[in-house]
Amino acid sequence: MCCESIKGTISGPAGELEIWLECPKQTPKGVLLIAHPHPLHGGTMSNKVVHTLARAALNRGWIALRFNFRGVGKSGGVHDEGHGEQQDLLAVAEWGQSEWPELPLQLAGFSFGARIALLTAAQLKIAQLILVAPPFRLYSDLWSVDCVEVPWAVLMGDADEVVSFEDVAQWVEQQQCPPHFEVFPQASHFFHGRLVDLRRSVEQILG
């Protein structure tokens, strides 16, 4: 399957999951699966940071695969504080890998989506992990992760008003398998005025 842009649903663990699939014009290099920010704070697959990650993927020749977590948009179920959302991500990843078994899968997430991406990465066969503003101030379960065994990157602004930059920098420093850590000076949580910079950085990471 390939396309220019398709919105639809697939089967998920708590009902249908809404997806947004976009394909590059050229033969795709792989699939970038993108997880959105917190559902109870307006997070959806249409979030502008998620949109920026999708644009970066398409510009570099990757399929961009977004989805809405349970209870968001046309996705069934209700918010499960991150537990069921991990199963949602795994279901979308399984679907993507069944559609394009020959293509590598990369995983990205923003804020709450970065939490879900990090917690599920070890259960997936992925080529790379990209975390944008992982929410360490809000979720203690992220501190237990001390090694990501694939190439990975952490991107955030040092003026983030939601996530503690100091906490993230400390966590990165203690990693056994250090990520590429890119800091955007004076950038806020939602990268106001810095989305082009974020897109360019992600494009370089995707290769």
Q: What does pTM read for this prediction?
A: 0.96
129-140 confidence digits (pLDDT tens): 999 999 876 667
Domain enclosing residue 54, as ranges = 5-206
How many structural domains compose the chain?
1
User: Is residue 101 left, alpha or beta, with left meaning phi > 0 and alpha meaning psi from -120 to 50?
Assistant: alpha
What CATH number should be reported for the domain holding residue 13? 3.40.50.1820
39-91 confidence digits (pLDDT tens): 999 999 999 999 999 999 999 999 999 999 999 999 999 999 999 999 999 99
Instruction: Return the closest-CA partner of residue 112 out of 192, 195, 45, 194.
Output: 45
